Chain A
Amino acid sequence: MESSSPPSPEIGTDRRGFIRQASGVVAVAMLPHSLRARAESAPPAPAPSASGLIPIMLRVNGQDHVCEIEARTTLLDTLRDRLHLPGTKKGCDHGTCGACTVHVDGHRVLSCLTLAAMATGAEITTIEGLAAGEKLHPVQQAFVDCDGFQCGFCTPGQIMSAVACIREGHAHADDEIREWMSGNICRCAAYPNIVDAVKAARDRSA
C-alpha cells in the first residue's frame, strides 16, 4: 500500500477516486518494493511444462509450498485452490473490496490483483499464519472483543489490513484509521467496531 499514492483527505481524494487512479497500475504499484523490483527486473521465467503449467515455490506462513500453476493464476486463487488456505477470501476478484488482503514481505497486498508467479521468493502471510499457535494476534483478539465483524467474510482481509495499518503508523487518530481502513469493505458495516478494534490493538501493542 505504501508504494502507491496514499489517499490524502487534505486534497479531497476520496476512496473511489483513489481506486480509479490506482486500479490501472495497481498490479505493480501495490506490490512491495522487493516484489516490484523482482517483477521489473524480470528474472528468467520458469519454463512451462508440457501441460502449460509452470512450477513455482511460494513461502506462506513460514512454510515453502511447491506447486504447478497456469501463469495467469492469481495469488488469491493459488492460496485458496492449490495450497488449500481458504482463509483469504474472494469478494470481488478485481481489487475493489479488500477481502483478499494478505501480507507480502510485511506489506498489505490485494492477492486478487497479484499473480502468484510474481510472489515467489517473498514472505507471504495470510490470516492462517497470524496467530502464534493458540494465542491470537492482538488485532485478532481486539476484533473478537470489539465485535469487529458480523458475517465474518471480510474479516481476514480487515485484520490483515489492520495489522498493516498499525505497523504503517496510520492508526493515530480515528479519522486516520477510517481512511486507511477504507480499502476493506464490510457490508455488515462493523466499521465503528473495526475502528475500536484497531485502536485497542494499537494500544496493546504500543
Chain B
Amino acid sequence: MSDVATPHPAPKLVGASISRVDARRKVTGQADYTADYHFARQAWAVAVKSTIAKGRIIALDTAAAEKSPGVVAVYTWKNRPKIYPPLKETSGFMVAEKLAPLGDETIHYYGQDIAFVVAETYEQAREAAGLVRPTYAAEPAVARFSEPKREAPGKIYGEKPHLEKKAPGTASVTDAWEASPARIDATYITPMIHHQPMEPHAAIAKWHTGRLTFYAPVQWMYGARNFLAAGLAVPAEDVRVISHFVGGAFGCKGSSWMFMLVIAAAARDLDRPVKFVMERENMFTSVGHRPRTSQRVQLGADAAGKLQAMRHFTESSASEAGLFVEAAGHRATGVMYGSPNIEIDHQIYKLSVSAPTFMRAPGESPGVHALETAMDELAVALKMDPVQLRLVNMTANHPMSGLPFSSRHLDECYRVAGEKFGWARRAAAPRATREGDWWVGWGMASASYAAHRSNAQARVRLLADGTAEVACASHDLGTGTYTIMTQTAADELGLPLEKVSATLGDSTLPEAPFSGGSQSAGSILPAVQMAARSVLTKLKTLAAADAKSPLAGLAADDLEAAEGGLRAKSNPSRRVAFAAIFEKSGEGALEATEKTEPAAETKDKREQPSYSPKTTAYQSYGAFFVEVHVHRLTGETRVKRVVTAMDIGQPLNLKTARSQILGGAVFGIGAALTEHSLFDENSGAWITQDLGTYHVPVNADVPEIDVTFVGPPDFKFNSVGARGIGEIGNTGISAAIGNAIYHATGVRVRELPFTTEKILGGLSHEGAA
C-alpha cells in the first residue's frame, strides 16, 4: 500500500480552477431540490402557528378547517400521529429544540406549531390552515433581553464557560489589565439574525411496506436518518433520506427539526405521501436564528502595543425551548493573539423565543467581530497602525492551550492583502478623506475559524469501460462537494474529470459527517483518496498477475495510475489501459469503501499519519481590508472595496473556493449593514418575517471582492492539505467595515448593524458639516 503522505501522481485537478460538475444541472433547472419532487397520491401539509409567545391554548376549533374542501386531516396535540420525539442530542443526530411537536396545549414561543393541516392541494391546505381557530390564555412572555437571570451554560462547544490563563505571579487578569499602560473597555452588541437560505425547508415523506423514504434538504444525511428512526420507532436501516441538492443552508438545515417527524408520521398515518414546504415567513420562526450577544471586551497593552491582558465576557440569548448556545470569546480571544493573561467568560439568558441554532461561523462571527473592533480601538488609543498592533501580537502557539499550530500564516495574510489594498497609503487620522458628500474610510480586521475533522467513509468504483464513480453520504449546499469529490477521485485514478461521476445526498451511501463547522472537505476527501488507492491496489494485483501484461512482474510500488491506465514509474512507456486489465481479468468493476477516523488519531497508517489534535492546534486565519463610503448627511454606508487573503491550507478548487469566501464576506456585509431580526421585547413576536423587511444583501450592495489564498497546504491536518473554507469568510469582515466607518467618520458604532441612525447620531455629534 502506497503512502498517502506523498501524493502520487501529482494532483492535476485538485487545486485548479474548475467549473462545477453539477453546473449544467443548475443552469438548466434540472438540479432536483426536495420541493421539486411530486408523487402520485401526494397530499400537502401546512402548519398552523401560535400567535402568542407564552401561555396555553384553551380551545382549538378545527371544525371549519376539517370541513374545508380537500382537507384530509387536521393534526393537533389531541390527535397527533404516533411519534416518539427524541428531545436530546446524541452522537447520532442533532436537535435544536427540546419540545415535542404538537406535544400539548402549552405555548413556549411565538410561531410554535399548534396544528398541521393536510389536504389534496397546497391551496386547499393553506386555506384550511387559516380556518383553524385557537383561543389562548396568554401569559407574559420572557421577552426583554435584560429580564432573565444570567446563567452559565454547561459547555461552550466542549469547553468550560469560564477560561482563565494567568502569568506567574499575577493575582488576577483584571489586575493585569488595570496595570496596563493602554486600556480598552467596551461592550459590543450583535443582534439576532437569520440564515434565510433561498431554498425554504421542505420535506416529503413516502412509506412503502414499513420503510420510509424522506426527501429533505439537510446538512447531515445520517443525522436526519437516525433522528427519524428514533422518532418513528423504526430501525435506522428502514429510513432513507435523500437530498441531492440543498438550496443553501448556513447552519439551519444541520439540526433535525421536529416538523420533520410530524410530516413522516402523518404520511404513515394517512398511508400516502405527504409534502411540506415551509413558507418564507416561517423560516423566521421555526428553523433557528443566531442569538443576540452582548460582549464586554477589555484589552490592556504596553506602550509598544504588546497585549498584557485580555478579558472577553459574553452574555448571549438562548431559548427556553432550545438547546443551542452561541459562543463568542472562546472562539475569538481564545485563539487569535498572544497574551500572558486571558480571561473568557460566557453566560446565557433564556427567552420565550423559538430555538436558535448554529449559523455560519457560530461563535467566531460575533466573537471575532467584538475582538477585532476592540483591537481597532486599542490601535487608536495607542496611536498605532492597526496592522502593526496585530503584528506585534502574533503567536506561534495556541493562546490558551499552548499547543503549536499546524500551519499559521496570519502575518502573511496582512502583508498580501494589505499590499493589494494599498494600506500603506492610509491616512492615520479619521475623517481625513471626503469625496463630495461621502466620507471615505479604510479599515481592516483579522479572520479566524477552527479546523475540524470527523470520521468519514467513501466508496470508489472503477468500471471496465474506464469510468469511475465516487460516492459518500455527504452534501452539496452550494459548497462544491460534488466537484471536489470528482477532482480528488479523478486525480487518484489518473482519469480526466469527465470520466468520473460523484454521488452524494443519500443516506444509503457510505457515512459522511455533518456538513457544518467547515469540516466536510477535510473529512471526506482523505477517505475518497484511500478508497481510490484501494481500488488501484486491486487493479495492480490483477495487472501484475497477467504474465502477458507489459507490467508483468513489476512491484505494486512501481505502478501508478495515469491517463486512464496503469504504468511503470520506472519506465512510463510500459503501460496498460484500465479497460485492457478488466478485459483480461474478466472483472466487471472494482470497488472499495474506506473509512478515516481522525478521532482515533489515524491508527490506519495508510492515511495521513500526523493528525493529532492532542498535540497540535488546527486553525485557519485571514485578513479583510475594506473601503467604505459614508454619506455625511444621511449616514448611509456603502462598501466600495474588499480585499482579503486567507490562510486555509490547500484551496481544492480555486473557482469554488473563491466563491465560498465571497459568500462568507457578503454574509458579513449583511451582518454589518442591514441584517437585524427585530424581536418585540413586549410580546415576544418576531417583527421582521419576510425578505422585504429583513434585508439580506442584494447585488447592488456588493462591490468587487479580491480574494487571495496564502500559506502552504496543511498536510499535518489531512492528506489533501485543506482546512475547510465555508465559514471563515464570515468572520472579521463586519469588524473591518465598522473600523472603516470609524476611519471615515470618527464615529465608533458598537452595536450591529451599522444602520444610518446609529452613524448619524455620531456624525451630528461630531459636527457633520
In the assembled complex, the Cα of A143 lies from the Cα of B38 at a distance in Å of 28
Which A residues lie within 8 Å of B98 (CB)? Answer: none
CB-based A-B contact count at 8 angstroms: 190
In the assembled complex, the Cα of A159 lies from the Cα of B31 at a distance in Å of 14
The verdict on B196 contacting chain A, using a C-beta distance below 8 Å, is yes
| Contact yes or no, A144 B19, CB < 8 A | yes
| Contact yes or no, B662 A189, CB < 8 A | yes
Chain B interface helix/strand/loop/mixed: loop
| Contact yes or no, A145 B19, CB < 8 A | yes
Which A residues lie within 8 Å of B704 (CB)? Answer: 192
The 8 A CB mask of B147-187 against A (1 = contact, 0 = none) is: 00000000000000000000000000000000000000000
Contact for B663 among A159, A179, A189, CB less than 8 A: A189
CB distance from A166 to the nearest CB of B (A): 15
| Contact yes or no, B35 A91, CB < 8 A | no
The segment from A31-39, A40-48, A126-134 found at the interface with B is: A126-134
The verdict on A56 contacting chain B, using a C-beta distance below 8 Å, is no
Query: What's the tally of chain B residues with a CB closer than 8 Å to chain A?
Result: 64
In the assembled complex, the Cα of A67 lies from the Cα of B659 at a distance in Å of 41
Contact for A191 among B32, B280, B697, CB less than 8 A: B697
The verdict on B7 contacting chain A, using a C-beta distance below 8 Å, is no
Contact for A185 among B479, B659, B696, CB less than 8 A: B696
Contact for A189 among B26, B667, B692, CB less than 8 A: B667
| Contact yes or no, B248 A188, CB < 8 A | yes
Residues 683-711 (chain B) with a chain A CB within 8 angstroms: 690-692, 695-705
Residues 280-326 (chain B) with a chain A CB within 8 angstroms: 280
Q: Which of B24, B196, B478, B667 gathers the greatest number of chain A CB atoms within 10 Å?
A: B478
The 8 A CB mask of A48-76 against B (1 = contact, 0 = none) is: 00001000000000000000001011000
The verdict on B69 contacting chain A, using a C-beta distance below 8 Å, is yes
Contact for A96 among B27, B690, B702, CB less than 8 A: B690
The 8 A CB mask of A71-110 against B (1 = contact, 0 = none) is: 0110001001100111111111110110100000000000
CB distance from B603 to the nearest CB of A (A): 36
Residues 237-251 (chain B) with a chain A CB within 8 angstroms: 245-250
The 8 A CB mask of B655-688 against A (1 = contact, 0 = none) is: 1101110110111000000000000000000000
With A81-B38, A188-B478 known as contacts, the answer to whether A153 contacts B197 (CB < 8 A) is yes
With A97-B691, A151-B477, A152-B247 known as contacts, the answer to whether A190 contacts B26 (CB < 8 A) is no
In the assembled complex, the Cα of A126 lies from the Cα of B20 at a distance in Å of 22
Residues 116-157 (chain A) with a chain B CB within 8 angstroms: 126-128, 130-131, 136, 140-141, 143-145, 147, 149-156
CB distance from A181 to the nearest CB of B (A): 5
In the assembled complex, the Cα of A194 lies from the Cα of B26 at a distance in Å of 14
| Contact yes or no, A86 B26, CB < 8 A | no
Residues 219-260 (chain B) with a chain A CB within 8 angstroms: 245-250
CB distance from A53 to the nearest CB of B (A): 10
A-B CB contact pairs (8 Å), 6 listed: A23-B692, A84-B38, A89-B199, A93-B280, A190-B663, A191-B699
Instruction: Given A16-B692, A87-B29, A96-B692, output 13 extra A-B contacts at Cβ < 8 Å.
Output: A94-B690, A136-B28, A143-B26, A144-B24, A149-B23, A149-B26, A150-B659, A153-B33, A154-B198, A155-B26, A188-B659, A192-B702, A192-B705
**Chain B residues close to A by CB (< 8 Å):** 19-20, 22-33, 35-36, 38, 69, 121-123, 195-200, 245-250, 277, 279-280, 477-480, 655-656, 658-660, 662-663, 665-667, 690-692, 695-705
Closest 6 CB pairs of A and B: A87-B29, A153-B247, A151-B478, A150-B478, A189-B666, A152-B26
